[in-house]
Amino acid sequence: MTRKILMTTATIAALAGAPLAYAETGNQGMQKGYDANHRLELSDDIEGTMLSAKGADVVLSDGTRLGTITEVMSDGTGDAKFFVEVDEGTTIDAEWLDITVSPANVSINENVVGLNATETEINTAAAGSGESDSGEDKATVILQ
């Protein structure tokens, strides 16, 4: 009986302290942008890792949140192809981006995809793309 009470008390104490310990770490596991330690090319299952990125936030190396990945595919040469719905708060003059990027320039950690590019670099690459055939404001960007 005493052992059961002590076990219950220890469990409650451990569970009660977990949120405090998590808050004190500042959520260090969450990636803020491109992280060379979590590059897509380092993944054992590049295809599976890419597919898990659907619905993830895209954050650039300068910390800018670009948008949300709505579609993921491989272009057949080993590069990742992400279709991104662009956030309104960016300077990108497009509603959608079709981004083709080599695995060395993509990091995936948790539900965040980091791209090794700044908002200025993405904006410059997307500037000449214009409208797609469907009339959507869509730009194409290739990051190698």
Identify the CATH number of the domain in which residue 94 sits: 2.30.30.240
Within 1-144, residue ranges assigned H as helices are 2-25, 46-51, 119-126
Q: Model pTM? A: 0.69
Domain extent at residue 97: 36-143
What pLDDT is attached to residue 32? 55
* Residue 35 reports pLDDT greater than 50: yes
* Total number of domains constituting the chain: 1
Segment 101-125, tens digit of pLDDT: 888 888 888 889 999 999 999 988 8
How far apart are alpha carbons 8 and 58 in whole angstroms?
43
Q: Is residue 12 part of a domain?
A: no
The dihedral sign for the CA sequence 92, 94, 95, 98: negative
